[in-house]
């Protein structure tokens, strides 16, 4: 079902600058947009660290990367975003592997419409995987981003959000960031899931809204401190990856509607154009959002920059996101 390349993507890639001399850390590269981004960064000459939980998919995708780019510096680091302990161990490993610092951190990994389950840390599986563990990882890698930005003038944190940030709620609700995994609305009926409604989708919506609020909060704090670290966010439109297949398997989407919908999707490479723009383009600015448009119908096409949106880029939401996330990881995160 997945096309491996596209004209749109090859034209896009040919306009990206060299990333030689830069170090990029990317989460979730076993398939989809993360895999496309890792392949592209390696092709552009970057040193690439791929952070994945241990699995056959992780081993296979890492060896595909090293086989495709035998001269590239590629490091595979085990990191399970469902567990803060694993993020801590991975952060320490990244620090050891990158004495030069980190130029780009791409918080890409994600899960969608999973059942109402708690991680071992007690948080909603979608919120911890998609946002809270990335918040902790970013906090831990700040000194490395700072080090590289002092040497080269700028570094970047790129978060991966979704059109799902727009609905069903444009308000970030505190309970989704609390230790209430498994108590956040249940699993919904087959009808609701087939139609992308109900509690599973609200939990996904909240995690993707959190990606944006995190970007906005980080952007404002970095700017206030005069930092050279940029905070950006992207969304892939609708991209034909493993994401939907996993959701269907876990009961979060109806297969008939999903198969019909995916006829209108773009390839994983095209879906990666937003994060790649934010990671690589020399004119990308802190506080920008890259995607095939800002509205609910922006499902495919070239990634273009637009401004962060007022429904999460406001003092109340930024503070809520930061305070709840700091409390969740149990560590101070001061810029
Ligand atoms: N595809 C779309 O249409 C779409 C639309 C909007 C937003 N997005 C966003 O795009 C991002 C990438 O998703 P994708 O579409 O490329 O899906 P994908 O092909 O399923 O890739 C998701 C990646 O996240 C990893 N991941 C999941 N749980 C993890 C965990 N606990 N620890 C470490 N890694 C974990 C997966 O690794 P495993 O192999 O270990 O599962 C995989 O590498 C996500 O943030 C998603 O929300 C996608």
Tens of pLDDT, residues 223-247: 999 999 999 999 999 999 999 999 9
Q: What is the CATH number of the domain that holds 140?
A: 3.40.50.720
Cβ atoms of 149 and 228 within 8 Å: the answer is yes
Cβ atoms of 234 and 187 within 8 Å: the answer is no
Per-residue pLDDT at 4:
47
Atom of ligand 1 nearest to the CA of 112: 47
Question: Has residue 176 been placed in a domain?
Answer: yes
Per-residue pLDDT at 9:
97
The beta-strand segments (E) located in the chain are: 23-27, 47-52, 74-78, 104-107, 155-160, 229-234, 288-291, 304-307
Per-residue pLDDT at 180:
98
Per-residue pLDDT at 2:
43
Distance 30 CA to ligand 1 centre (A): 8
Question: Has residue 332 been placed in a domain?
Answer: no
Question: Has residue 37 been placed in a domain?
Answer: yes
Q: Does a cis peptide bond (omega within 30 degrees of 0) precede residue 168?
A: yes
Per-residue pLDDT at 193:
81
Per-residue pLDDT at 60:
98
Per-residue pLDDT at 140:
98
Atom of ligand 1 nearest to the CA of 246: 20
**In a mutational test of the pocket of ligand 1, which residue from 109, 204, 289 has the highest number of ligand atoms less than 8 Å from its CB?**
109
Residue with the nearest Cα to atom 40 of ligand 1? 53
**In a mutational test of the pocket of ligand 1, which residue from 28, 54, 276 has the highest number of ligand atoms less than 8 Å from its CB?**
28
Q: How many CA atoms lie within 13 A of 117 on its CB side?
A: 12
- List of residues 6+ apart from 263 with CB closer than 8 A: none
Residue with the nearest Cα to atom 48 of ligand 1? 236
Residue with the nearest Cα to atom 13 of ligand 1? 110
Cβ atoms of 3 and 267 within 8 Å: the answer is yes
For residue 155, list its beta bridge partners.
229
pTM of the predicted structure, to 2 decimals: 0.97
Helix then strand then coil, in percent of the chain rounded to 5, is: 45, 15, 40
Which residue ranges have their beta carbon within 6 Å of ligand 1? 27-34, 52-53, 55, 57, 79-82, 108-112, 129-130, 160, 162, 235-236, 238-239, 241-243, 246, 271
Question: Has residue 323 been placed in a domain?
Answer: yes
Q: Mark the ranges of the chain whose per-residue pLDDT is less than 70.
A: 1-6
Per-residue pLDDT at 190:
80
Measured torsion, CA atoms of residues 32, 271, 200, 248, in degrees rounded to the nearest 10 = -50
Question: Has residue 143 been placed in a domain?
Answer: yes
Distance 36 CA to ligand 1 centre (A): 12
Distance 110 CA to ligand 1 centre (A): 4
Distance 226 CA to ligand 1 centre (A): 32
Residue 143, domain extent: 7-327
Distance CA 324, CA 106 (A): 22
**In a mutational test of the pocket of ligand 1, which residue from 33, 127, 273 has the highest number of ligand atoms less than 8 Å from its CB?**
33
Atom of ligand 1 nearest to the CA of 207: 47
Number of domains in the chain: 1
Distance CA 161, CA 181 (A): 21
Question: Has residue 335 been placed in a domain?
Answer: no
Question: Has residue 79 been placed in a domain?
Answer: yes
Residue linked to tokens 């996330």: 325
Question: Has residue 1 been placed in a domain?
Answer: no
């Amino acid at each position: 079902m997945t096309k491996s390349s596209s004209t749109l993507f090859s034209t896009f890639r040919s306009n990206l600058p060299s990333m030689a001399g830069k170090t990029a850390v990317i989460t979730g590269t076993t398939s989809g947009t993360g895999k496309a981004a890792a392949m592209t960064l390696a092709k552009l000459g970057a040193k690439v660290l791929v952070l994945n939980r241990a699995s056959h998919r992780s081993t296979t995708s890492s060896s595909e990367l090293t086989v495709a780019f035998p001269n590239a510096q590629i490091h595979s680091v085990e990191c399970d975003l469902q567990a803060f302990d694993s993020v801590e161990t991975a952060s320490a490993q990244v620090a050891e592997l990158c004495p030069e610092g980190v130029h780009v951190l791409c918080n890409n990994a994600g899960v969608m419409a999973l059942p109402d389950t708690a991680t071992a840390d007690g948080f909603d599986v979608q919120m911890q995987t998609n946002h809270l563990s990335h918040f902790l990882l970013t906090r831990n890698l700040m000194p490395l981003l700072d080090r590289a930005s002092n040497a080269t003038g700028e570094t970047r944190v790129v978060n991966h959000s979704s059109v799902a940030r727009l609905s069903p709620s444009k308000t970030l609700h505190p309970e989704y960031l609390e230790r209430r995994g498994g108590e956040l609305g249940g699993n919904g009926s087959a009808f609701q899931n087939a139609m992308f409604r109900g509690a599973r989708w609200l939990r996904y919506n909240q995690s993707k809204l959190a990606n944006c609020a995190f970007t906005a909060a980080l952007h404002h704090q970095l700017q206030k401190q005069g930092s050279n670290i940029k905070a950006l966010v992207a969304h892939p439109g609708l991209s034909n990856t493993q994401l939907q297949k996993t959701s269907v398997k876990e009961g979060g989407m109806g297969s008939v509607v999903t198969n019909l919908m995916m006829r209108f999707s773009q390839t994983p490479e095209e879906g990666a154009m937003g994060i790649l723009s934010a990671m690589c383009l020399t004119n990308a600015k802190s506080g920008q959002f890259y995607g095939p448009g800002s509205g609910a119908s922006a499902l495919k096409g070239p990634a273009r920059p637009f401004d962060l949106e007022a429904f999460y880029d406001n003092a109340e939401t930024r503070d809520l996101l930061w305070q709840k996330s700091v409390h969740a990881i149990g560590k101070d995160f001061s810029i």
